[in-house]
Structure 1
């Protein structure tokens, strides 16, 4: 349900657009948007300027909501199912739900890493751990699930027991909430699941399994692509090392040749000076010879 207040609606729209951007694009885009609306609505401009740049994990969860909505909804639906059926299923069924949750979250966190690469903002493992932590929190709490669905998270979420602290976690207008209806269903008296409920649970499990399979297939493809790139990178590194070694050899050869040229220049200068002295001596000797010939001629 969109916010009723026009200011909240406008802020929601601005935040939705801004939190679709990469973190390194966020601040400049936010300031530019605030400046654009300032002439018409100074209060809206001020609230836009207050929007905080998302953490890497929050940004990536926001992008999962935008680019992998089916997988995200599968996670959140399985979490809702687990909350609603708490006390209705036996330990074996609950353990199976727990395994489904862990597999789905792990696969989606891995998919998040591939998505970050695809969007040009690769992240490290600690960020993916925070993504998984946020998804787990959204599965354990309906309000946290609603916060994730907005695509406007500012920080990662963490479940402490069954509680999730959502203070300052979502930017923009109020978070549309499905929590009251979900909590109302969860508060019903425990009972054994009906045939319809069991069928619904089985359908949810199958959907989760398909989603896991799809995410794992993408993860395998991403891993294969990564291995191929690693191999190419190793080849490039070897080629670079070979070229660097060749360059070092050529540098050494160049220094040797330059040393020989310098020695040759010194020898040339020395020989030039000796030649100039010899030329002067030859000229003086020629003058002496001319004078001697003239003296001889006078005696004859």
Structure 2
């Protein structure tokens, strides 16, 4: 399996939106299986990036110049630290805080532009990862890769990079550079038989690791599906809430119209009763006049 091939596959996948990652990874792994089973297994073992890691990866793709400026300042800081240049350290540290804060805010804006808004804790982790990239040169390379799986954190002047970069040195599950450097040289110069046994053990370990990663990926996919279902329910609830608010407003309008109609009906009823009384008086007056006219006619005869 070529390391560059895995890096290319990982780069394409880690450029996707978070909700697209799992399906795209699984589909790509299935398509690769017939041609390169090892590469397919390695692709299937790639983990969905954490929100902060995903956002830093997008800064690499969409805010590369600003990120390069920040990491270049980190290199200056490390040089000043090595030279114990206190005045320069103080000046650069102030610039670092300003640049990290500005780029973290820019990351929030970028997330909204990509229609994947994030909350403040994610932006805090983005700032923490950017700071780690300034503290350590290897961490800076990890940030620049655009393939971060998780956020980074500087503990003093050290940053733990194990498993932090998808498709990184050694591939998923492989030993970190520090661990490989610690391996005895004699072991690396073992004979052909020992090398074959080692390769078999490594292959077995790789298969077991790939199986664990596939199980983790399946669990991750189920979690993503549950998250998507929850988001759908939240959207449905928001729609129902909006509809309820609209219905409530309409009900209030109808109540007001009903009260107005009732008021008009009351006025009409009162007017009807008044006209009825006038009609009765007029009828009685007409009847009385008729009686008087009849009496007058009788008197004339």
Using the size of structure 1 for normalisation, the TM-score is 0.59
The CA RMSD measured in Å over matched residues stands at 3.0
Alignment-derived partner of residue 32 in structure 2? 37
Find the counterpart in structure 2 of residue 296 from structure 1. Answer: none
CA distance in 2, matches of 1:141, 1:60: 20
Structure 1, unmatched stretches of 5+, are 1-5, 180-238, 257-300
Q: Which runs of 5+ in 2 are unaligned?
A: 171-176, 178-241, 260-301
The answer as to 2:164 corresponding to 1:169 is yes
Residues 78-105 of structure 1, C-alpha deviation per residue, up to 9 Å, x if partnerless? 1011111225364322111000000000
2-structure distance, mates of 1:254, 1:23: 50
Residue-pair matches, total: 193
Distance 1:87 1:40 in 2: 49
The CA distance in 2 between the partners of 1:102 and 1:109, in whole Å, is: 11
Among candidates 51, 59, 65, match of residue 54 of structure 2: 59
SS in 1 for 2:117: coil
Equivalent in the alignment of 1:102: 97
What's the offset of the Cα at 1:251?
5.1
CA contact (8 A) 2:10 2:166 kept: yes
Match of 2:2 in 1: 7
Per-residue deviation, residues 109-164 of structure 1 (Å, max 9, x unmatched)? 00000000111101000000000000000000011001111100000000001110
Q: 1:113 aligns with which of 89, 98, 108?
A: 108
Deviations 1:204-243 (A, max 9, x none): xxxxxxxxxxxxxxxxxxxxxxxxxxxxxxxxxxx99995
Q: 1:17–1:95: structure 2 CA closer, same or farther, 3 Å change rule? A: same
Which of 242, 247, 250 is matched with 1:247 structurally?
250
Q: Shift in Å at residue 13 of structure 1?
A: 0.5
Give yes or no for the alignment of 1:130 onto 2:133.
no
**Structure-2 residue corresponding to 1:142:** 137
**Partner-residue secondary structure (3-state), 2:81:** coil
CA contact (8 A) 1:9 1:173 kept: no
Cα deviation 1:174-219 (Å, max 9, x = unaligned)? 28xxx9xxxxxxxxxxxxxxxxxxxxxxxxxxxxxxxxxxxxxxxx
- Deviating runs (4+, > 6 A) in structure 1? 239-242, 253-256
User: Equivalent residue for 1:73?
Assistant: 68
> Which of 19, 25, 39 is residue 20 of structure 2 equivalent to?
25
Indicate the SS of the match to 1:78.
Answer: helix
Distance verdict in 2 for CA 1:81–1:245, change over 3 Å: same
Residue 295 of structure 1 corresponds to none
**Aligned with 2:94: secondary structure?**
helix
CA distance in 1, matches of 2:256, 2:69: 66
C-alpha distance in structure 1 between counterparts of 2:6 and 2:258, whole Å: 67
The DSSP-based 3-state class of the residue aligned with 1:85 is helix
SS of 2:2's equivalent in the other structure is helix
Q: Distance in 2 between matches of 1:158 and 1:73?
A: 19
Residue 253 of structure 1 deviates from its aligned partner by: 7.2
* Residues 228-247 of structure 1: pairs in structure 2 closer than 5 A: 244=247, 246-247=249-250
What's the secondary structure of 2:83's corresponding residue? coil
Distance in 2 of aligned mates of 1:85 and 1:249: 69
